[in-house]
Amino acid sequence: MTGADLESQLTWLQANLDAEREIRLAAEAERNIALEFIREICLAFIPDDLDQVLRKNKIEVERWNPLEYKDFVLKRGIARIRRLEMLSQDDLANELTRAHAEIKRLQDKVRTVQDLRDALARLQTTYSETQAQIATRDAELAKLRSEVTHLQAELSKTKEQVRKSATTATQRTAITATVANAESPVPEWFEQWQASKKFKQDAGLIRVMGYQGFCLRKSIEVALIEEGVITAGSGAIHRLFTRVKEKWGLTEEFKPRTETRTGRAPFLLHLTERGREAFRLLYGQEAIESEYDRLLARHKSDEHILLNIQARDAFLECGAEAVDLYPQPVQLPSGGTFDVDLVVIFPGQSPLYVEAERGGAKNKRQRDQKWANYRQVTSDFYIVVPNKKVQSQIVTEITTWAYQSRIHLTLHVCNLSQLGEDASLWHFEREMGQIKQGDYGRRRNTWS
């Protein structure tokens, strides 16, 4: 099981823990409502009787459950009926009429109380089961965190071993010995490529992309420099990418529209079919699936893919121990699922469910439903945006939705264009929802 798979399980477990805590709070709220409802019945129809028992033993009465209240209401109601029988004959007809009406009202209230009592019993059962599940899953979560730490250490060792062995392989004069199927003829273009002067550099690029799956050109460049394939700051970097793409057709480049103010325009790359074949011939195995291809299946555009990758890199640079670019859908308490963009884990914290937003014209109904589903997953909205304009749009959109829906949440926004300008990862934070009259939308940070 990989680190990504374990992180996906952690995400699924945390979402279920949140839903189960909400069920527990709902059960406690229903019980309190039932008790308050019965007390109101007593105050409305038998206030003197209730006052009498409160004077005798107030502490005990305040601890009554719904069933004890029901018995009290029935007992005192019957006693009142019996007292009516002792009234004079002249007043009896009127009193009986009022008594019958009162009895009917009490019977209706008792039926309501019984329904509430049954609902409370079911909620209490669910609450007990949830408590047991929470205890079990807390233990599982602790175990999984330990396993993730161990696997990350093992993964780092494995990557280093692969890097060293791959570097050694490219230095051999007889690279064709690594061909997976020696009986199949080697393509003519492959032999020409092997005989070229820059084959060693070219093979290093294919190795990095095939073993690590990187698609952001900046990430690939860093890996090439770390492995000693190229030197930082030299023109050889640009020539290498151009040569492998245009002369040999091993890679394909995509240039998303630039939406952040962070350096030169980024490129996204993946291996072509010929590039994957070259990796297979060199290293005797299939190249892993590119980040680009995996993310393209999840997102709408190259710009959204880039935003997710840039968000991942920003979180890792700010101390996250893991970022899942491909999280599993989160089960919602109301049914259905929510497809979160990223799940981020910082040391000692619960997972953050993060959305990457680019702004622009959107369908309001669909957007409102998205935020409602997101709110079922978490009351902390973590949003990554590329620039100030999108930040303004998203803050306005979520603020309006929260106010109109009377939903309480806390919004955290990371603006990638502002990273590095200060020490903060979250450039805008605001608590939203009508906590009390006149206290809507308290800001925690300035809008920088």
Query: Each residue of 182-209: pLDDT tens digit?
Result: 556 899 999 999 999 999 999 999 999 9
Q: How far apart are CA 285 and CA 276, in angstroms?
A: 10
Answer whether residue 290 shows pLDDT above 90.
yes
pLDDT at 8: 76
What does each C-alpha distance from 267 to 264, 342, 363, 415 come to in angstroms? 9, 21, 30, 20
- Of residues 264 and 360, the one with the higher pLDDT is 360
Which amino acid does the sequence have at 428? F
pLDDT at 89: 55
Between 171 and 422, whose confidence is greater?
422
Instruction: Give residue 113's pLDDT band: very low, low, confident or very high (50, 70, 90).
Output: confident
Residue 369 pLDDT class (50, 70, 90 cuts): very high
Residues of the chain with pLDDT > 70, as a percent, come to 80
Residue 139: the pLDDT is 52
Q: Which percentage of the chain shows pLDDT scores above 90?
A: 46
Residue 102, SS3 per DSSP: helix
- Among 279, 204, 271, 261, CA closest to 390: 261
What's the pLDDT score for residue 430?
93
The pLDDT value recorded for residue 173 is 34
pLDDT tens digits, 220-262: 999 999 998 998 877 888 999 999 999 999 999 999 988 887 6
CB 275, CB 213: distance < 8 Å? no
Q: What angle do CA 118, 121, 123 make, to 5 degrees?
A: 110
Q: State both tokens at 390.
A: 């999108």
For residues 414-423, average pLDDT: 86
Confidence (pLDDT) at 31:
74
If you search the block for the tokens 């090439």, which residue do you land on? 224
What are the phi and psi torsion angles at 221 (to 5°)?
A: -60, -45
pLDDT, mean of residues 290-306: 93
Residues 6+ apart with CB under 8 A from 169: 175, 178, 282, 283
For 261, the enclosing helix (H) or strand (E) is: none
Tokens of 153: 């250490």
**Which CA distances in Å does 45 have to 41, 59, 65, 110, 216?**
6, 22, 19, 12, 74
What residue spans of 171-198 are helical by DSSP H? 188-195
Q: Are strands 380-385 and 352-356 parallel, antiparallel or unpaired?
A: parallel
In a 10 Å sphere around its CB, with 0-12 CB exposed, 13-18 middle and 19+ buried, how is residue 139 labelled? exposed
Q: How confident is the model at residue 117 (pLDDT cuts 50, 70, 90)?
A: confident
Report whether 323 contacts 343 (CB < 8 A): yes
Residue 13, helix vs strand vs coil = helix
| pLDDT of 375 | 95
Instruction: Look at the block and give the residue holding tokens 């995509």.
Output: 254
Tens-place pLDDT, residues 128-181: 666 655 655 555 555 556 556 655 665 665 556 555 555 555 544 344 444 444
Mean pLDDT of the chain: 82
Convert the pLDDT of each residue in 14-53 to its tens digit.
878 878 888 888 777 877 787 787 778 787 777 888 788 8
Reduced DSSP (H G I as helix, E B as strand, rest coil) percent helix, strand, coil of the chain, to 5: 60, 10, 25
Q: Give the pLDDT score at 249.
A: 96
More confident of the two residues 373 and 70: 373
Least confident of 112-116, 163-167, 411-415: 163-167
CB 388 within 8 A of CB 404: no
- The token duo for 229 is 């394939």
Two tokens, residue 435: 């906590």
Q: Is the pLDDT of residue 322 over 70?
A: yes
